[in-house]
Amino acid sequence: MNSEAGRRQLEAFVECQRKGDVGHSFSHLSLALCLLPHLKHQYYNTFLRVFEEWSDTVEETKGIQQALTISEAALSIYPHSPDIQYLLAKILYR
């Protein structure tokens, strides 16, 4: 069941990327990686790119608190990622 739901989330991620909807892309990819953790390594760079783009957009439009919430979501998926920690530090520095 998780496998099928994860695959549907990946398909939705691809569709949102095609449409340029970075917010929904981040959500779908995050959920897909939670459901299909064996794909985390394969999608790491893609996740970083989407996360950075989405967190920058959110920070500009909704403020630092919302950007920190997104960072928390990213860290829950990749808790030991120095790249995500660096991006979080960038948010805090600004």
How much is the pLDDT for 14? 97
pLDDT tier for residue 32 given thresholds of 50, 70 and 90: very high
Greater model confidence, 69 or 93:
69
Q: pTM of the predicted model, to two decimals?
A: 0.91
* pLDDT per position as a tens digit, 55-90: 999 989 998 899 999 999 999 999 999 999 999 898
Of 84, 62, 63, the C-alpha closest to 74 is 84
Residue 1 has pLDDT above 70, yes or no: no
pLDDT of residue 21: 97
Domains of the chain, with CATH numbers? 2-93 (1.25.40)
41 Cβ contact list (under 8 Å, min separation 6): none
Query: Would you state the structure tokens that stand for residue 49, as one six-digit string?
Result: 């790119």
For the segment 8-30, what is each residue's pLDDT rounded down to a tens digit? Answer: 999 999 999 999 999 999 999 99
- 46-84 burial code (b ≥16 CB/10 A, e <16): ebbebbbebbbebbeeeeeeebbebbebbbebbeebeeb
